[in-house]
Homo-oligomer: A and B are copies of this chain.
Amino acid sequence: MPSVVRAPIRESVRVVGGPDGRIAGPGMAGDGLGLFHRLRLQAPAVADAARPGQFVHVRCAPPGQWDPLLRRPLSLHRIDRSRGEIEVLFRVVGRGTGFLAGLAAGDEVDLIGPLGQGFPTDLAPGETAVLVAGGIGVAPLVALAEELAAKGAPLVAAAGAQTAEGLLAVESLGKAAGEVLTATDDGSAGHRGFVTEVLAGLLDHVARPVVYACGPEPMLRRVQAMLAEEGRRRRGYLSLETRMACGVGACLGCAIRQAKPGTAYYHVCHDGPVFAAEEVVLGG
């Protein structure tokens, strides 16, 4: 992986804004939850060191309480170095994210970060960044879009979800990317169908695309396949999720199989969460 691990910082940071919960429409989330929140955190040291695609590892219980035990990894959704703030965008799926959804401005949060390898953002002349988000996978892509835009890199974005209500942070993404092509399973917004179908259209039109994708595993598999297609391999990066314990490379818990034949595992927290698409075997 290209980028260098920066020294992670553990800080007790303060909630600045949020949670600004938003209830997605019924049927949005497979499990019937589907509640999204955004937290703005005063975390100058993390903001300063962070790069898009990296994550923070957040404690989701009060000090001295051991259930839930483990930290939860959340991507950096926005990085505001000038204000020393970061934002995370998350879906409530269980007890950890449920705890975070209950925080209020002024509360303290114990986090470690920035962790892992971010997205490589050096585009060659003529290359265009193509961002593809599935559901909550939009979280890290907003930070990426903002960095690419700040660099003046050419950039297009597509976001998909099950329904229009699940299309998150499209405004933020649009502000940086200019336009966001959308897709929903039920056609309630944008293209009716998968966001990978929108991606296919983009790949046909963009000369030298560099794909950045984050979303559910089936979507990432499809992206991976599209990038490897027909001999004309395209450059692309996937942001992956695995269950994690330490988040820093010490426990070897977050294994994902390397694509190189015969060899072993990458560790998502340390070698990723962003990988070149051809490096990893998804679901391995």
Contact = CB atoms under 8 A, between A and B. Distances in A.
Q: Of A61, A62, A68, A102, which is in contact with the most chain B CB atoms at under 10 Å from its CB?
A: A62
A65 B67 contact: yes
A2 interface: no
Q: How many copies does the complex hold?
A: 2
A270 B99 CA distance: 35
Interface residues of A, number: 10
A66 B64 contact: no
Contacts of A62: 99, 102
A81 B68 CA distance: 38
A91 to B, nearest CB: 17
Nearest to A69: B67
Contact of A95 (B64, B68, B95, B102): B64
Nearest to A66: B67
Contacts of A99: 62
A67 B60 CA distance: 13
A110 to B, nearest CB: 16
Nearest to A67: B67
Interface string A74-113: 0000000000000000000001000100100000000000
**Residue of A61, A67, A68 with most chain B CB atoms under a 10 A cut-off:** A67
A61 B95 CA distance: 12
A148 to B, nearest CB: 40
Contacts of A95: 64-65
B64 A65 contact: no
A68 B63 CA distance: 12
A254 to B, nearest CB: 24
Given A65-B67, A65-B95, A67-B67, 8 more contacts: A61-B65, A61-B67, A62-B99, A62-B102, A64-B95, A65-B65, A65-B68, A66-B67
11 contacts: A61-B65, A61-B67, A62-B99, A62-B102, A64-B95, A65-B65, A65-B67, A65-B68, A65-B95, A66-B67, A67-B67
